[in-house]
Amino acid sequence: MKTFELIAPCHFGLEAVLKREIYDLGYEITKVEDGRVTFEGDAEAICRANIFLRTAERVLLKVGQFHAETFEELFQGIKSIPWEDYIPKDGRFWVAKASSIKSKLFSPSDIQSIVKKAMVERLKGKYHVEWFPESGAEYPLRLFLMKNEVTLGIDASGNSLHKRGYRLMTSKAPVAETLAAALIMLTPWKKDRILVDPFCGSGTFPIEAAMMAANIAPGMNREFKAEGWENLIPHKLWYEGVEEAEDLINRQIKADIQGYDIDKEVVKAARDNARRAGVEELIHFQQRPVDQLNHPKKYGFVICNPPYGERMEEKEALPGLYREIGEAVRRLDSWSAYLLTSYEDTEKCMGRKADKNRKIYNGMLKTYFYQFQGPKPPKRNRRPQSAEEEVDR
């Protein structure tokens, strides 16, 4: 089977998490750059990457890379790419997005126009036609210009991979599913440990954690643009990918994952989202303010996206709110807490300096992932003496 170069964009600063995911799927990494990871794979890899990757924004089939400082160089570079190897005569193709950073060519609309024109010129000569019906499968192109280096990829995903299909209603400041999954992966949390989100909103952190615990692939219940690429990917590979995902689900898993929110309607929406994700039985949602955060067990995790105070009236309440978070975490004295927020006095209000701090862009907003680490649980190296003792452990 033919091997391709595939590009997986991700949130800036989380490339290492995505890199580990791709390795775990069995594919070879060829390049890691800011906001994207390039790897090698065949047609099956396009299917599996879309179905299984939790932290990638989309999967692109890389078709070319070259240097261009003028529109003529851009036109000739595009025209030299063997588009006929990827796009059939009836294929619909367009430049869905063009981005330019530190390059001489910077107008997205002009870049899109030149690229489309060059693609048409190439395909007219190869297919010996003057007009394309564009009535077949869709092949949206994404172009990146970085320091005059052009990279092109055909979008195999379509809708961003953060759109798992379970979240119909969102809270005021939702965290994307892909970002939530990546942040959970940055922590030492495992499926046998407690996880609580006291600002759960639409339930993204608890739901993503529950899907990881049950080994539910994030893309198994949605469609992808490349499902129509029958000239490149046999349709049976998509069926086989979903079958593989079905076989890997652990339906017997038990988990202690909880989500709280002060808004009753938001909690109801979170439950509905969890039901659509197939993890309703693994999460306990409850209307509860953060000052009532408590748990009888030790060594749990608080992972949340608390309010940032983007509106003036909310900003005034932030010091008190973050002090309540700090007090709750101190009561849970063996727990770890992980907060994604742009609030600059987080550490002051929490009453301690974060053990680690990572800058993350949540959309266009610069935020920080504050990591307040608790003690590690004792190692379980003693062999249980009875069935009762095994249950107690």
This prediction's pTM: 0.93
Q: What is the DSSP letter of 173?
A: S
Alpha-carbon distances, residue 248 vs 16, 220, 252, 259 (angstroms): 24, 11, 12, 26
- Which token pair is 19? 């890199």
Any idea which fold 177-217+226-372 has?
Answer: Rossmann fold (3.40.50)
What count of Cα atoms within 13 Å lies in the side-chain half-sphere of residue 238?
19
Domain segments of the chain: what residues?
A: 4-155, 177-217+226-372
- Topology adopted by domain 4-155: VC0802-like (3.30.2130)
pLDDT 10s per residue in the chain (393 long)?
Answer: 899 999 999 999 999 999 999 999 999 999 999 999 999 999 999 999 999 999 999 999 999 999 999 999 999 999 999 999 999 999 999 999 999 999 999 999 999 999 999 999 999 999 999 999 999 999 999 999 999 999 999 999 999 999 999 998 655 557 999 999 999 999 999 999 999 999 999 999 999 999 999 999 999 999 999 999 999 999 999 999 999 999 999 999 999 999 999 999 999 999 999 999 999 999 999 999 999 999 999 999 999 999 987 665 578 899 999 999 999 999 999 999 999 999 999 999 999 999 999 999 887 889 999 999 999 999 876 544 433 333 333
- With CA atoms as reference, report the closest residue to 96 among 144, 62, 64: 144
Phi and psi, residue 39, nearest 5°: -145, 165
Helix 177-186 vs helix 204-213: angle between axes, to the nearest 10 degrees? 60
| Kind and range of the H or E run holding 346 | helix 346-350
